[in-house]
């Protein structure tokens, strides 16, 4: 645990991004975190340490009473959590004709899916019908793969929500956009604001409202910021709610799957849990109850990062696998299997990874996923997520360069774990485990004997208030931190990160398009238009842009990006050296490590 001195220095470092001029005008979720500036040069131990520090910022209290940014523990945020939990309780008490919709894009939609299913299951235990529904931009395909383009359509968002509301009288809509930026969610919130007699909207995100995205949205009359401001006006009358504490910049700039996803899970689970406890067990919803709940999650952070050495060891193993062109496989059970699948799917847009680099599988596959569209495995290998798929298609090819990570708890059938581990061990000695047990419920055998190495095992001591349900939510969060650390760390070790930027991101929607140009500007000092031209030349593989290319919509550009590789690194080389697109591509092909290629180009360009 950090000492006082370390805590103080952490607070000092964290304050840097709070200065008004720091990387202005970027919103907090897009800024680079001063704590992780050198993460690209760090070893596994240091990577984990930096992630621990960045993740701790999620729970940082107000530094001064009049601090510019609201935090998770700020009075006003806690009050909104109380109000939202109270609404959840009201719906659960009178569930007929009511619906709670959780919606988002990418990671935010995946968390929406996870929680909608989890809390419907809880209702089932109380003999109640499901009340929750989830929406993810791009449909269920987006649960397993990156489908970034639908994120840009407000009308699609509104349409899907409208369909979900059919036959309901009251809908409590929770829209998640970590960066307060996704047009898909803006469209849904706007739909709510136009139908307030039926819908009450909640917006979850992690930027101050005045930095919500304000650029025009193609074919739509509003911006995200305007929608947010309308909601804030209605908040006074409790007809809309905006939950937007700041949790600090991501360790990898803009990678909202990390802290954004974590904070979403913490906030949403807290309000839903308290709503359920109030509705079913008559536990009062008040500020203290909210604070206690968030503190419990903060303890999960401490428990998880107590295992720094073990986690660093797995990060190192996974990094070596990726460096040697091997793979990392997550084999999980129940919702921890879903956490693995989610984490793996996010590596494609974040690091420009191949979907085969890191893959997730879960016991029972789609019959356990419980997604709306059912079994998607016929859509292609990315959608084959059952352990059986792993055994039939991957296991025969496994070798020493691969890392296989088992993710399970004491509540899973240990015989299944042992059997599969036995099969994998015949192929590689690199078999790791992340597992959770709790007081009075320990594994029947010494896990180390099965996995031959330091196992990442956390033994939890539940407090009296903890039920099994809450315990699982905590395991999920703990597992999320570990998996985010492993996949991020492994890609850093592979050289997919430059300083703390995802230098090889996929430029597949308008947010990522702007982020890519921002990266070019930052490292080459170019003007926006110059950076954009270089990016477009690479996207279209053209030395000269035609008028049509230069004037096309961003959606056309991002469509072109789906088939392009190493877009930002190539544009960087073009800008820095003045060479042609094909020369830059050839130069990068010679260099296996993207980070080194970028670094060489930038430093030599300065001489
Ligand atoms: C949604 C999102 C991210 C994803 C990528 C593109 O962001 O899909 O989940 O990792 O960065 O955007 P947000 O709307 O929650 O900010």
The finding on whether 569 has its CB within 6 A of some atom of ligand 1 is no
Q: Tell whether 175 is covered by a domain.
A: yes
Q: Which whole number is the average pLDDT over 312-321?
A: 98
User: Which domain does 395 fall in, by range?
Assistant: 307-497
Residue 155 inside a domain? The answer is yes
> 348 and 379: one domain?
yes
Q: CA nearest 301: which of 104, 128, 52, 469?
A: 52
Is cis: bond before 294, omega within 30 of 0?
no
- Are residues 388 and 485 located together in one domain of the fold? yes
pLDDT value of residue 607? 39
Last residue of one domain, picked from the residues 269, 301, 333 = 301
The total number of structural domains that make up the chain: 3
Q: Are residues 286 and 340 in the same domain?
A: no
pLDDT reported for residue 66: 66
CATH classification at residue 271: 3.40.50.10490
Give me the interface pTM, i.e. the ipTM: 0.95
> 1: pLDDT confidence band, cut at 50, 70 and 90?
very low
CATH code of the domain containing 346: 3.40.50.12620
Q: Give the pLDDT mean for 359-382.
A: 97
CA of 165 to the centre of ligand 1 (A): 24
Q: Please answer whether residues 115 and 269 qualify as being in contact, where contact means their C-beta atoms are separated by less than 8 angstroms.
A: yes
DSSP string, 393-436: IIGGG--TT-EEEEEEETTS-HHHHHHHHHHHHTT-S-EEEEEE
Q: Is 432 in the pocket of ligand 1 (CB under 6 A)?
A: no
Question: Alpha-carbon distance 543 to 559, whole Å?
Answer: 19
How far, in Å, CA of 355 to CA of 144, rounded?
10
Q: Is residue 524 part of a domain?
A: yes
Instruction: Assess if residue 577 is contained within a domain.
Output: yes
Residue 14: is the preceding peptide bond cis (ω within 30°)?
no
Residue 3 has pLDDT above 80, yes or no: no
Could you tell me the two tokens for 459?
């033994």
- Residues with Cβ < 8 Å from 125, sequence gap 6 or more? none
Confidence of residue 597 (pLDDT cuts 50, 70, 90): very high
340 shares a domain with 236? no
Say if 437 falls within a structural domain: yes
Query: Does residue 484 belong to any structural domain of this protein?
Result: yes
Same-domain pairing of 422 and 449? yes
111 lines ligand 1 (CB under 6 A): no
Question: From atom 8 of ligand 1, which residue's Cα is the shortest distance away?
Answer: 106
Q: Are residues 571 and 435 located together in one domain of the fold? A: no
Q: For residue 4, is pLDDT > 90? A: no
Give the residue-averaged pLDDT of 22-46: 96
Q: Which ligand 1 atom sits closest to the C-alpha of 110?
A: 9
- The answer, yes or no, to whether any atom of ligand 1 lies below 6 A from the CB of 104, is yes
Q: Of 476, 497, 518, which residue constitutes the final position of a domain?
A: 497
Return the CATH number at 584.
Answer: 1.10.8.1080
Q: Domain end: 272, 301, 330, which one?
A: 301
Q: Is 526 left (phi over 0), alpha (psi -120 to 50) or beta?
A: beta
Looking at the chain, the whole-number percentage of residues with pLDDT higher than 90 is: 87
Same domain, 335 and 321: yes
Question: Three-state SS for 541?
Answer: coil
**476 in the same domain as 554:** no
* 384 contacts 345 by C-beta, under 8 angstroms: no
Predicted pLDDT at 62: 73
What is the C-alpha to C-alpha distance for residues 176 and 123, in angstroms, rounded to an integer? 23
pLDDT of 270-293, one tens digit each?
Answer: 999 999 999 998 899 999 999 999
State the closest ligand 1 atom to the C-alpha of 179, by its place in the atom list counted from 1.
16
Among residues 594, 344, 345, the alpha carbon closest in space to that of 494 is found at 594
Q: Is the pLDDT of residue 605 over 70?
A: no
- In a shared domain, residues 464 and 526: no
107 lines ligand 1 (CB under 6 A): yes
Residue 592 pLDDT: 86
Residue 11 resides in a domain: no
CA distance 334 to 178: 26
pTM over 0.90: yes
Confidence of residue 467 (pLDDT cuts 50, 70, 90): confident
Q: What is the mean pLDDT of the chain?
A: 94
Q: Provide the pLDDT confidence category of residue 9 given band limits of 50, 70 and 90.
A: low
CA of 179 to the centre of ligand 1 (A): 8
Taking the CA of residue 182 as reference, the ligand 1 atom at the shortest distance is: 14
Statement to judge: residues 490 and 540 lie in one domain: no
Distance 108 CA to ligand 1 centre (A): 7
Q: Could you tell me if the CB of 250 is within 6 A of ligand 1?
A: no
Residues 457 and 400 in one domain: yes
pLDDT tens for 110-164 read 999 999 999 999 999 989 999 999 999 999 999 999 888 899 999 999 999 999 9
Q: Grade residue 461 by pLDDT with cuts at 50, 70 and 90.
A: confident
User: Is residue 173 located within the same domain as residue 222?
Assistant: yes
137 lines ligand 1 (CB under 6 A): no
pLDDT digits (tens, 9 = 90+) for 537-568: 999 999 999 999 999 999 999 998 888 889 99
Instruction: Give CA–CA dist 415/363, Å, rounded.
Output: 13
Q: Are 124 and 90 in contact (CB under 8 A)?
A: no
Residue 580 lies in a domain: yes
**120, 188 contact by CB (below 8 A):** no
The angle, 0 to 180 degrees and rounded to 10, between the axes of the packed helices 107-125 and 334-345 is: 170
């Amino acid at each position: 645990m950090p000492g006082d001195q370390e805590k103080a220095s952490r607070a000092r470092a964290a304050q840097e991004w709070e200065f008004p001029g720091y990387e202005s005008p970027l919103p907090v979720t897009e800024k680079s975190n001063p704590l992780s500036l050198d993460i690209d040069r760090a070893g596994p131990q240091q990577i984990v340490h930096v992630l621990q520090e960045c993740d701790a910022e999620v729970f940082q209290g107000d530094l001064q009473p009049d601090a510019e940014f609201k935090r998770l523990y700020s009075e006003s945020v806690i009050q909104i959590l109380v109000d939202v939990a109270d609404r959840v309780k009201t719906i659960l008490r009178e569930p007929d004709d009511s619906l709670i919709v959780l919606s988002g894009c990418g990671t935010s939609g995946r968390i929406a899916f996870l929680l909608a299913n989890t809390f419907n299951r809880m209702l089932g235990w109380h003999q109640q019908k499901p009340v929750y529904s989830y929406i993810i931009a791009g449909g269920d395909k987006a649960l397993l793969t990156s489908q970034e383009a639908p994120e840009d359509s407000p009308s699609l968002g509104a349409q899907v929500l409208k369909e979900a509301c059919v036959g309901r009288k009251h809908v409590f809509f929770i829209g998640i956009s970590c960066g307060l930026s996704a047009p898909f969610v803006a469209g849904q919130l706007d739909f709510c604001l136009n139908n307030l007699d039926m819908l009450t909207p909640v917006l979850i995100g992690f930027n101050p409202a005045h930095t919500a995205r304000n650029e025009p949205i193609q074919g739509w009359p509003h911006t995200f910021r305007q929608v947010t401001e309308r909601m804030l006006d209605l908040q006074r009358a409790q007809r809309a709610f905006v939950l937007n504490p700041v949790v600090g910049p991501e360790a990898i700039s803009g990678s909202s799957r990390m802290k954004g996803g974590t904070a979403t899970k913490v906030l949403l689970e807290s309000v839903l849990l308290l709503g359920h406890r109030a509705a079913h067990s008559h536990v009062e919803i008040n500020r203290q109850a909210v604070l206690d709940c968030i503190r419990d999650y903060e303890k999960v952070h401490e428990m998880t990062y107590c295992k720094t050495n073990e986690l660093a060891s797995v990060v190192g193993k996974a990094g070596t696998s990726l460096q040697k062109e091997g793979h990392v496989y997550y084999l999980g059970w129940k919702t921890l299997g879903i956490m693995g699948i989610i984490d793996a799917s996010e590596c494609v847009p974040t690091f420009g990874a191949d979907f085969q680099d890191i893959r997730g599988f879960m016991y029972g596959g789609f019959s356990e996923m419980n997604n709306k569209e059912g079994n998607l495995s016929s859509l292609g290998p990315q959608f084959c997520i059952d352990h059986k798929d792993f055994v039939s298609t991957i296991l025969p090819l496994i070798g020493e360069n691969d890392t296989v990570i088992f993710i399970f708890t004491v509540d899973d059938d240990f015989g299944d774990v042992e059997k599969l581990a036995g099969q994998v061990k015949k192929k590689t000695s690199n078999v790791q485990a992340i597992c959770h047990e709790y007081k009075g419920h320990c594994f029947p055998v010494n896990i180390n004997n099965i996995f031959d190495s330091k196992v990442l095992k956390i033994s939890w001591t539940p407090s009296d208030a903890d039920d099994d349900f809450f315990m699982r939510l905590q395991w999920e969060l703990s597992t999320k931190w570990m998996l985010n650390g492993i996949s991020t760390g492994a890609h850093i070790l592979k050289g997919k990160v430059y300083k703390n930027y995802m230098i090889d991101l996929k430029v597949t929607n308008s947010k990522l398009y702007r982020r890519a140009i921002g990266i070019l500007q930052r490292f080459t000092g170019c003007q926006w238009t110059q950076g954009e031209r270089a990016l477009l030349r690479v996207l279209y593989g053209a030395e000269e842009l035609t008028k049509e290319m230069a004037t096309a919509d961003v959606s056309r550009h991002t469509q072109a990006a789906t088939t392009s590789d190493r877009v930002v690194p190539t544009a960087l080389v073009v800008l820095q050296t003045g060479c042609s697109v094909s020369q830059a591509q050839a130069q990068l092909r010679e260099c296996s490590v993207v980070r080194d290629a970028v670094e060489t180009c930038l430093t030599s360009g300065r001489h």
